[in-house]
Structure 1
Amino acid sequence: MKSFVMKIRKGIWVVPALYSSASLALAITTVSLDTYWIHKIEPFLPVMMLTSIDLAQTVLSAIASSLLTMTTFTFSTVMVVLTTYSSQFSPRTLQNFVKDKTTMRGLGIFLGGFIYSIISLLFMRQSLEEHLVSSAFIGVLYAIVCLAFFAYFIHHIATSIQISRLIERLEEEALKVIDYYQEIQKDQEIHPYKTIPVQYDRVREYTSHKTGFIQYIDFSALVNHASQEDVLINFEKGIGDFVKEGETLFSIHSHQQHEKDLSPYLFIGRERMGEYDLAYSLQKIVEIALRAISPGINDPNTARDSIKYLGLILSETHRIQDGVLTLHDDDRHPRVMVTLFSFNHILYNTYYQIVHYGKGDISVILSIMDSLIMIDQSGNMDRKHIVYDFHKYVLHGMDMDQMQEWDLYYLNEKIKRLTPEQ
C-alpha cells in the first residue's frame, strides 16, 4: 500500500486529475440542476444568478477559450522553469518544482475550468431555451478564481526561480529527513557494529527483484512482520543505495525457513527520492554549489551561500546517532538491523566534490571552514575530532607559503576555532 501511495505521489498528473474530476462533477451537477430542478428553485435564487441559454453559451465559450489559453501559457512557463532548473541549478532539483503544490494546483484549476465550460456547453439542449440557467454564473465565478490564481501563479514562478528560494526549500526537505531519522531512532539501540544473536540457526539472503535505488523502507511494517514470524532482518543496503537485480538486500535470521515475500515493504525506483534520503537532499545543494563555481557560470557567492546551508543542515545531525540501528518490537526483541546514518560518510560525500573543484578559490575554502565550524559547535566531542581531522583533508595540497597574508590570516583564525579542546 505504501509503495502504491509513493507511486501516486511521484506522478505530476495526480493533482490536475483530481481538480479536473471535481470540475467534471461540478459541471454534471450544474447541468442536472438546470435541466431538472431549476424551475423549482428559480423563485428562491437571485436574478443575477440566472441567464438565458444564449447568453450562457456565449459566456461559457469565452471562458473555455480563455482558460485554454491560460493553460497553454502555464505549461509553457513550467517548461521554461524546468529548463532553467536543469541548466542553471541541477537536474536533480526538477522534482522539487514539479512536485510543488502551487504549480500542480495551477494546472489543475485551469484544466478544470476548461472542462467545466466545455461539458456545460455540450449538455445545453435547445429544450432549455424557455428556462433560465445558472451554468454561466458559476462559470464566471470559476473564471474569477482562475484569474486570481493565475496572478498568484506568476508571482510564485517569479519567486521559485530565485536560487535563494530553491536552497531554502532544499534545506526544509533535508531537515524533514533528519526529523524522520530522529523519529525512527527514538527509544531504539545504536551500536558501532552489528551483532547477530546466536539463537537463530537459519539464514536466508533476500535479493532485489529489480534494479534501481532504494527509495523507501517501511521499517515499522517490517518490525511487525519480523515479530509475528520471530525472525531478525539484517539489512546489507540502506535508503539511497543503488542495487541491481539479484543483489542481496538483507538477510533473514530465523529458527525455521522463512519464504514469505517482503518486497511490499521496500520501494525501489530508477531515481532517488529526497523525502527519506538525507544524502540525496544534500547532493542537490552540492550540485548547485558546483554549478556556481564552474567557469561557465562563475557565481562564487551562490556557492558560498550553498556551502553554509550545507553546514547548517549537517549541524542539525547532532540529533541523530550514527552506527547500526537495531529496531525492537513491543517485547524489546531485536527485529531489524540497518545502518541508517553514518556521520563520516555523509560528511565526506557532502564536501569532497566541492573541495576538488573549489580548492583554487579561497572564498570557497573559507566558506567550507565556516560550515565545518557550524557542525563543530553543535556536535559532541567525537564529532569535533572528526570535523577537525576532515579540515586537514580540505586543506591538503594547498601551498600556504604562496597564499596572500590576509587570506592566510583569516584561514588560520578559522582553523583555531576548529581545534578541539584538550
Structure 2
Amino acid sequence: MKTYLLDKYLKKYTRMSERELAHQVKSNLWFTPVLYVLFSMILLSVTLNGDLNYGMGNKMISYFAVDYELTLSLLSVLTAATLTITIFTFNLVLVVFTTFSGQFSPRILKNFISSKATQRVLGIFTGSFIYVLLSLFFLNKRITEYYFAVPITATFLAIFSMATFIFFINHAVAWLQVNQLTDDMKKEALGIVKGTLKDELDSYKVKDFNDTDADIRNGKGLQIKAGTPGYIQLVDFISMIEEAKKDDIMMRFEHTIGSYVFESTPLLTYWKKHEMKIDEDKYLAFFSVRKKQTEVQDIEFSINKLVEVAIRALGNYDPKTATTAIYQVSEVLVSISLVTDFSNYLADDENNLRLLLQKRDFNHYLYNGLGYIRHYAKDNVIVSTDILKALDLMAKSLNPRDYQSVWDFAIHTALGFENLFLFEQDSQQFYLALYNLATTTNNQKDYEKFLKKM
C-alpha cells in the first residue's frame, strides 16, 4: 500500500511540465526545509569528521576546547530549545493562516507559504534542529574527550536561529499589513500578465493571417474531450502550435484557463484537410487539468484574490483597505491594456492560423476586476467615488483603444446613485470624479448628456 501511494505521488510530479513543477515546488512548504536539512547533514558530517577523526578539540588551546560532558549538556539544551522555537514558529504560521482566512481570503494563504522568507525561516529552524539532534546522537567519549567544531557550530546555529525568529515575527507582522499584502498579490498578477499575455502569446498573436481554411472551419469539426474533471491550470500553447503545424490542422479552444471542465467536456475542436489520423492524446498532454485553480497562467484568478480582499473589507466596514485593493486591481488592468492587443488568433511562423482562443477583451477584465467590487459597493458612495477616481487614473495610462470601455463602466456605475447621496459633498465629489474621467477619455459631451438625464 505504501509503495502504491509513493508511486502515485511520484507520478504526479513526473507528469508535470517544468513551469507547473516550479510553481508546485514554490507553493509547497516542505521543499526549502528539506534543502536546509540536507545542508545541515553535510555540515554535521564535516564538523563530526573534524572532531572525531582529526581531533580538533585536542589540538585547540584549552580556552576553545570543550569537554565531552559540557558538549553533551550544551547539545541537550539546544535540542530542546530548537525544537520549542520550531514548534512555536509553526504555531505562529497557523495563527497567520487563520487570520488570513477570516479577514481576507483563504485563497491568498499560498502567497504567505510561497514567500521565500517564510520557507527559509522554517528551513533554518528545521535544519538547526536536525543538526543538534544528530550531533547529540553521534557524540562518542571513547573516541575523543574534547570537542571544538560541533559545539561551536551548534552555538552559532542557536544564535542564528534566535535572530531568525525575531526576523520571522517582523515578517509575519509586515505580511498582515494590507499594503504589503495587496502589493505582493499585485506583483504576482503583473508577473502573470507579463509571462502569459506578453512573453508567451504575443509573438503568436495576429490579426491578419493566411485564412485559407475558412471554408473548412465553417464545417463540423472533431472534438477532443477533457477526460479528467477539474480546473484548466496550464496550457502549453507553443508546443501545441508546433504540433498543429506538423499535423496541418486548425484548432479552437472551447474554454479558457481557469474554467472548470467535466470528464466529457470538449476542450478542443479541430479541423483537418486530410484523412490522416490525429493523435488526440498528444494534444491532451498539453493541458494540465487539476482539482484546484492556480495562478501559473490564470490572470483572472490572481486578480480575483485582490477583488476578494476589497469585498471582505467592505463587509468589515474597512473602506481604506477596499480602496487600496481597488487601486492595485486598476494597476493590473492598466498592464493588461498595455501589453496585449486582445487578438484571439494564434498563427505559426508561416502566418497560418493554428489556434483560435476564446475572445477576451478589456471589457471582460475590467468587469471581472472592478465589476464585483462595484456590486458590493453599490450603497457606499465614498468607495464608489474611489472607483471612479481609480478609473480616471487608469485612463491616464491606458491604451486609448480602451477609453470607451472605461467610460461605459463609469456611466453604469453612476446610474445607480441618483437618490443615494446623503450629503451634498458626496454628490460633488462623485460627479467631479466622473467629470475628470470624461475629460481624460474625451467624453465631455456624453457627460453633459448624462447630467441632463439625471
For the criterion TM > 0.5, the same-fold answer is yes
The partner residue of 2:327 within 294, 298, 308 is 308
Q: 1:132 to 1:16 in 2, by over 3 A?
A: closer
| 2:280 paired with 1:280 | no
Shift of 1:71: 0.4
Distance 2:159 2:165 in 1: 10
SS of 1:378's equivalent?
coil
Q: Is the 8 A contact 1:208 1:248 kept in 2?
A: yes
SS of 1:128's equivalent?
coil
Q: Is the 8 A contact 1:288 1:306 kept in 2?
A: yes
List per-residue Cα deviations over 1:280-333 (Å, max 9, x = no partner): 121111111111111xx2111211222122222212222233534333444444
| 2:280 paired with 1:262 | no
Distance 1:353 1:386 in 2: 16
Q: Counterpart of 1:210?
A: 228
List per-residue Cα deviations over 1:146-168 (Å, max 9, x = no partner): 12211111111111111111011
The partner residue of 1:28 within 38, 41, 45 is 45
Q: Counterpart of 2:433?
A: 414
Alignment of 1:117-196 (within 5 A): 117-130=132-145, 132-180=147-195, 181-191=197-207
Q: 1:57 to 1:347 in 2, by over 3 A?
A: same
Q: 1:147 to 1:204 in 2, by over 3 A?
A: same
The partner residue of 1:83 within 81, 89, 98 is 98
What root-mean-square deviation, in Å, do the aligned CA atoms of Structure 1 and Structure 2 show? 2.8
Shift of 1:44: 7.5
SS of 2:66's equivalent?
coil
| 2:262 paired with 1:244 | yes
SS of 2:264's equivalent?
coil
Q: Which moved more, 1:63-72 or 1:321-330?
A: 321-330
Q: Is the 8 A contact 1:213 1:271 kept in 2?
A: yes
SS of 2:405's equivalent?
helix
Amino acid paired to 1:129:
T
Q: Is the 8 A contact 2:57 2:146 kept in 1?
A: no
Q: TM-score, normalised to structure 1's length?
A: 0.89
Q: 1:59 to 1:282 in 2, by over 3 A?
A: same
The partner residue of 1:100 within 109, 112, 115 is 115
Distance 2:164 2:185 in 1: 25
Q: 1:385 to 1:47 in 2, by over 3 A?
A: farther
Shift of 1:193: 12
Shift of 1:236: 1.6
Distance 1:178 1:248 in 2: 26
Q: Is the 8 A contact 1:185 1:320 kept in 2?
A: no
Shift of 1:213: 1.6
Q: Counterpart of 1:344?
A: 363
Distance 1:347 1:195 in 2: 31
The partner residue of 1:224 within 242, 247, 250 is 242
Q: Which moved more, 1:108-117 or 1:195-204?
A: 195-204
Amino acid paired to 1:25:
I
Shift of 1:102: 0.8
Q: Is the 8 A contact 1:312 1:374 kept in 2?
A: no
Q: Is the 8 A contact 1:325 1:340 kept in 2?
A: yes
Q: Is the 8 A contact 1:366 1:411 kept in 2?
A: yes
Q: Counterpart of 2:424?
A: 405
Q: Which moved more, 1:400-409 or 1:75-84?
A: 400-409
Distance 1:233 1:127 in 2: 74
SS of 1:150's equivalent?
helix
The partner residue of 2:66 within 51, 55, 58 is 51
The partner residue of 2:412 within 388, 393, 410 is 393
Q: Is the 8 A contact 1:188 1:327 kept in 2?
A: yes
Q: Is the 8 A contact 1:323 1:341 kept in 2?
A: yes
Q: Which moved more, 1:66-75 or 1:121-130?
A: 121-130
List per-residue Cα deviations over 1:323-373 (Å, max 9, x = no partner): 343334444444333248431111112222222221111111101101111
Percent identity for Structure 1 against Structure 2: 27
Q: 1:171 to 1:195 in 2, by over 3 A?
A: farther
List per-residue Cα deviations over 1:97-144 (Å, max 9, x = no partner): 111111111111101111111111112223223453521111112222
Q: 1:328 to 1:195 in 2, by over 3 A?
A: closer
Q: Counterpart of 2:394?
A: 375
SS of 1:175's equivalent?
helix
* Alignment coverage as a number of residue pairs: 418
Q: Is the 8 A contact 1:192 1:324 kept in 2?
A: no
Runs of 5+ consecutive residues of structure 2 not aligned to the other structure: 1-16, 444-454
Distance 1:408 1:191 in 2: 44
Amino acid paired to 1:162:
Q
Runs of 5+ consecutive residues of structure 1 not aligned to the other structure: none
Distance 2:58 2:355 in 1: 68
Q: Which moved more, 1:145-154 or 1:396-405?
A: 396-405
Amino acid paired to 2:264:
G
Q: Which moved more, 1:283-292 or 1:400-409?
A: 400-409
SS of 2:108's equivalent?
helix
Q: Is the 8 A contact 1:90 1:288 kept in 2?
A: yes
Distance 2:228 2:67 in 1: 60
Shift of 1:187: 3.1
